[in-house]
């Protein structure tokens, strides 16, 4: 490119993204030659996109950012090959969200520039994984086919939502795309900061499991709040799904006991409608509702599934009994009579936010954070105890505490592959779920990263774990978060916890205690280890499997946290 060309591009007025579309990615299955996404004649199937709920002009919320799928018919230009174009974009928030894919056979990365209304600028780096070979663990949606001029291939096509940080609260004027022509941009938006909301409860999708199938059933999920407030909104995620799911109606109530509400359940709406369809891979928020959410209390979130649901995104280890109804819409029922089946997981629901409040702390972890071996229905996971401590003092604000622990989760490798129905619900790796489970959480201000022992038990080295933890810290710091880390607990006596594993754990903890990567380190190992045998949990804190603390051990972890570090 000549300097004259560069000058013209840099001084030209920005235009809306759709005016720059110069590539056609989507074809009708009956006319596959009408699109050529990658230069070899291959394309995305319009029928597959429609089946996923990704219809032309539809607004899709992914990672708390709303992006509009191009309002284009098959065979019309629907994306732009990034080559330094200037895009008009207005708004304030904490991140840019790009709906992208690469056609280079590998990830394509490039840098761009954000221009703000006050004349200032910042730079960003955007990476787009390949649409046919990129990781399924981080995709927004996977489609079952690729169209070619010679016919359809049974091969998954991927689309990705990638977010990059911007200066929070500073109004934007335009965005200059990277110069990387194999990087295709379908949509671009500003992720609006969740001002006026605090995350009170959240959970992480750990897998996509076969269920029921459920037809015309109502789920009544029991969740425990941390922060309270005068308003509420709910978040439902269709993570990892290939097809949409319809919610016919939904309500919220304070729990009296079991599936019985303490009062009449109050309906929530979605865009002023009683129900909503959640596209594959996307999420929805309910409208704000005036509802007094008590702190440190159980809520009943009930929602009717009018269609047939054979599989759903779930958080497997709830340590909390929830309920499934007999056929019919029972979301408004105050009684428990229709709720005859007990559930031990949390399907679809991923968040409860309350109005006002000071923001939230997110705990990213494995089964120890998830509360494995804690008392069912007692809310004795260590983040619950931490939330109760915050509520009982006045030295620091009463932050919400969001538990993003997943049993079996690892820092650097996926347990669940990130696509399709699977019995493994250990989740994608902490690195691969960081953007969704931490950065996109409501009002997050501090991250506590506390995992790595599962990596070591599965053969990863201390160097691999510490590199992963450092990447988590670096990425979270780039989003303006405060980052704390917890040392790994001893596992001596547990099957598989060999002397070699112990040596690697010792190395990870030595690095954590010495590094300046984090804003603080919580020496949780020192809290619960046996002083006489420091490679083991203290007997008073051992649940019996020599890996997971019991209720007393989990409480000890929570009570050891210096609240001023949050």
Average pLDDT over residues 266-282: 98
Q: Is the pLDDT of residue 450 over 60?
A: yes
Beta bridge partners of 91: 172
| Sheet bearing 482-486, strands edge to edge | 400-405, 360-365, 444-450, 482-486, 520-522
pLDDT at 7 (0 to 100):
38
Average pLDDT over residues 121-131: 98
pLDDT at 194 (0 to 100):
83
Average pLDDT over residues 214-232: 98
Q: CA dihedral in degrees (141, 156, 312, 422; nearest 10)?
A: -130
Annotation: CATH topology of 358-566? Rossmann fold (3.40.50)
Q: Using alpha carbons, select from 327, 100, 353, 326 the residue that is nearest to residue 236.
A: 353
pLDDT at 279 (0 to 100):
98
Average pLDDT over residues 387-393: 98
The mean pLDDT of the chain is 97
Residue 177 DSSP symbol: P
Where, residue-wise, is CATH 3.40.50.1110 in the chain?
Answer: 358-566
**Residues 443, 360: Cα–Cα separation, whole Å:** 6
**Residues 111, 11: Cα–Cα separation, whole Å:** 18
**Residues 454, 206: Cα–Cα separation, whole Å:** 15
Print burial letters for 365-388: b (CB count within 10 Å at least 16), e (below 16). Answer: bbbbbbbbbbeeeebbbbbbbbbb
- Per-residue 3-state assignment (H helix, E strand, C coil) for 200-259: EEECCCCEEEEEEEEEEEEEEEEEECCCCEEEEEEEEECCCCCCCEEECEEEEEEEEECC
> What pTM was estimated for this model as a whole?
0.96
Is the bond preceding residue 213 a cis peptide, omega within 30 degrees? Answer: yes
Average pLDDT over residues 341-352: 98
Confidence of residue 117 (pLDDT cuts 50, 70, 90): very high
DSSP for 513-540, please give it: HH--SSSEEE-HHHHHB-SSSTTSB-GG
Beta bridge partners of 529: 537
Q: Is the pLDDT of residue 8 over 50?
A: no
Confidence of residue 411 (pLDDT cuts 50, 70, 90): very high
Kindly report, residue by residue over 295-305, the tens digit of the pLDDT: 999 999 999 99
Q: Using alpha carbons, select from 100, 277, 127 the residue that is nearest to residue 189.
A: 100
Kindly report, residue by residue over 514-563, the tens digit of the pLDDT: 999 999 999 999 999 999 999 999 999 999 999 999 999 999 999 999 99
Kindly report, residue by residue over 161-208, the tens digit of the pLDDT: 999 999 999 999 999 999 999 999 999 999 998 889 999 999 999 999
Average pLDDT over residues 255-264: 98
Confidence of residue 11 (pLDDT cuts 50, 70, 90): low
Q: Using alpha carbons, select from 226, 163, 120, 196 the residue that is nearest to residue 476.
A: 163
Confidence of residue 10 (pLDDT cuts 50, 70, 90): low
């Amino acid at each position: 490119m000549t300097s004259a060309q560069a000058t013209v591009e840099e001084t030209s007025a920005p235009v809306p993204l759709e005016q720059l579309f110069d590539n056609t990615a989507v074809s009708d299955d009956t006319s596959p030659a009408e699109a050529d996404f990658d230069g070899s004649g291959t394309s995305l199937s319009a029928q597959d996109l429609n089946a996923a709920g990704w219809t032309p002009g539809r607004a899709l919320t992914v990672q708390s950012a709303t992006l509009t799928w191009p309002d284009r018919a098959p065979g019309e230009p629907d994306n732009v090959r990034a080559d330094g174009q200037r895009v008009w974009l207005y708004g304030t928030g904490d991140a840019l969200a790009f709906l992208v894919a690469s056609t280079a056979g590998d990830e394509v990365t490039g840098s761009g520039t954000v221009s703000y209304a006050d004349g200032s600028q910042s730079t960003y780096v955007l990476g787009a994984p390949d649409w046919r070979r990129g990781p399924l663990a981080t995709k927004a949606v996977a489609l079952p086919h690729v169209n070619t001029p010679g016919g359809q291939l049974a091969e998954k096509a991927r689309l990705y939502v990638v977010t990059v940080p911007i200066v929070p609260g500073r109004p934007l004027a335009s965005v200059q795309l990277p110069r990387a022509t194999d990087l295709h941009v379908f949509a671009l938006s500003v992720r609006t900061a969740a001002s006026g909301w605090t995350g009170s409860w959240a959970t992480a999708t750990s897998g996509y499991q076969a269920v029921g199938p459920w037809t015309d059933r109502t789920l009544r999920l029991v969740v425990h709040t941390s922060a309270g407030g005068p308003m509420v909104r709910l978040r439902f995620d269709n993570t990892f799904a290939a097809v949409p799911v319809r919610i016919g109606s939904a309500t919220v109530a304070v729990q009296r006991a079991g599936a019985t509400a303490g009062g009449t359940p109050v309906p929530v709406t979605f865009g002023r409608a009683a129900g909503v369809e959640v596209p594959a891979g996307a999420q929805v928020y309910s409208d704000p509702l005036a509802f007094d959410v008590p702190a440190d209390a159980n809520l009943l979130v009930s929602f009717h599934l009018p269609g047939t649901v054979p599989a759903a995104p779930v958080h497997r280890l709830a340590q909390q009994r929830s309920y499934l109804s007999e056929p019919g819409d029972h979301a408004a029922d105050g009684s428990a009579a229709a709720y005859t089946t007990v559930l031990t997981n949390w399907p679809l629901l991923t968040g409860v936010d309350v109005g006002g409040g000071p923001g939230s702390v997110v705990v990213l972890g494995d089964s120890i954070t998830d509360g494995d071996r804690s008392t069912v229905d007692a809310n004795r996971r260590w983040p619950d105890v931490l939330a109760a401590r915050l509520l009982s003092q006045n030295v620091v604000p009463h932050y919400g505490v969001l538990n993003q622990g997943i049993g079996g989760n690892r820092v650097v490798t996926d347990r669940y592959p990130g696509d399709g129905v699977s019995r493994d619900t250990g989740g994608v790796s902490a690195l691969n779920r960081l953007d969704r489970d931490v950065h996109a959480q409501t009002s997050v201000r501090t991250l506590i990263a506390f995992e790595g022992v599962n990596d070591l038990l599965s053969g990863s080295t201390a160097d691999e774990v510490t590199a992963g933890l450092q990447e988590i810290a670096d990425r979270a710091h780039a989003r303006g978060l405060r980052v704390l880390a917890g040392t790994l607990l001893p596992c001596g006596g547990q099957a598989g916890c060999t002397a070699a594993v112990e040596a690697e754990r010792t190395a990870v903890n030595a690095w954590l205690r010495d590094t300046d990567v984090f804003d603080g380190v919580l020496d949780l190992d020192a809290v619960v280890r046996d002083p006489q045998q420091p490679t083991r949990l203290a007997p008073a804190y051992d649940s019996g499997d020599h890996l997971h603390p019991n209720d007393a051990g989990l409480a000890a972890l929570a009570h050891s946290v210096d609240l001023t570090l949050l």
